[in-house]
Structure 1
Amino acid sequence: MTIQKNISIIVAIAENFAIGKNNDLLFHLPNDLKRFKAITSGHTIIMGRNTLLSLPKWPLPNRRHIVITDKPDDVFPGCETVFSIDEAIEKVQSEEEAFIIGGGMIYKQFFPIAGKLYLTLVHKPFDADVYFPEINYPEWTEAAREDFYDDKNDFNYSYLDLVRK
């Protein structure tokens, strides 16, 4: 498949590529949630059904929601439902940027074609049951980086904006 320059992935990962456990996030970083909102507001977000159902409240304000499901009877008020990656891509092909927000299977399918990654990288391993695909960093250009320490969680983390070369 061809790289889709308007498809971006936004994800928080641990240093061992862990992203979730029991359909929940591994850590709570309020500033990361603010960053997520700032980056995705006014854009389309694409997710799997479990990711939508894990949100405390949906649809999220000021965003178009596309939910990928394999269940033909799924209806999610305030969201558009599609049944394939290709159908989701088709719905956003005229948009400047659309965001893949999870979960694990959706990330795995979009990762080879995404043009940009917005990573929150926690510099600590976590036990998980869902992992992000391993990133081959030489395939990406680091467009931006900010490093932080979170004293509530007692770990360092970084925001990385990566663009595929």
Structure 2
Amino acid sequence: MTYKNISIIVAIAENFAIGKNNDLLFHLPNDLKRFKEITTGHSLIMGRNTLLSLPKWPLPNRRHIVITDKPDDSFPGCEVVFSIDEAVEKVKNEAEAFVIGGGMVYRQFYPLAGRLYLTIVHKPFEADVFFPEIDYSLWDEVSREDFFDEKNEFHYSYLDLKRKTKK
């Protein structure tokens, strides 16, 4: 089952790497601005480690839904759930909700998501967390913008994809 209102937003390297030692692999200020613009006013769904990796939480003007397997978890300003189904239920009446990580949460939501907002850095990175490999034949490209980051000396792209509907 695909949920049109569930979107994934993620920054990945060309080898699908997304993190190492519970931290991001690269620092792209413009990508952080894009993340804020896209997600402000919406619900964010994340695992507990992703929440704990944020420099400050909860992020302003966003509802935080944290998936955990620890029954005693409590995070001020956040809602705690214990399954993907519970998270989906909490956002069922929203126009769009965003899955923001981490790796295990992305793997579970990837088959369910109706949209992907990708930042792709066009070089491989060493990592310990990876995004699922994307089968681009299942997605329609909504938009694409290409950039070069002079400070980091790499090319990157913003790619917005919408899941193709089955005929």
TM-score by length of 2: 0.98
Map of 1:103 onto structure 2: 102
Task: Work out the percentage of aligned pairs sharing the same amino acid.
Answer: 80
Map of 2:38 onto structure 1: 39
Map of 2:92 onto structure 1: 93
- Cα displacement string for residues 36-95 of structure 1 (whole angstroms, at most 9, x for unaligned residues): 000000000000000000000000000000000000000000000000000000000000
- Give the C-alpha shift of residue 100 in structure 1: 0.1
Q: Counterpart of 1:112 in structure 2: which amino acid?
A: P
- Give the C-alpha shift of residue 27 in structure 1: 0.1
- Cα displacement string for residues 7-26 of structure 1 (whole angstroms, at most 9, x for unaligned residues): 00000000000000000000
1:14-53 superposed matches below 5 A = 14-53=13-52
Asked whether 1:6 is paired with 2:5, we answer yes
Distance 1:97 1:80 in 2: 17
Q: Give SS of 2:25's match.
A: coil
Q: Which runs of 5+ in 1 are unaligned?
A: none
CA-atom RMSD in angstroms: 0.2
Distance 2:135 2:88 in 1: 24
Q: Counterpart of 1:36 in structure 2: which amino acid?
A: F
Q: Give SS of 2:76's match.
A: coil
Q: Give SS of 2:144's match.
A: strand
- Give the C-alpha shift of residue 116 in structure 1: 0.1
Asked whether 1:117 is paired with 2:112, we answer no
What is the number of equivalent residue pairs in this alignment?
A: 164
Map of 1:67 onto structure 2: 66
Return structure 1 stretches of 4+ with deviation > 4 angstroms. Answer: none
Distance 1:19 1:152 in 2: 20
Q: Which runs of 5+ in 2 are unaligned?
A: none
Distance 2:84 2:138 in 1: 23
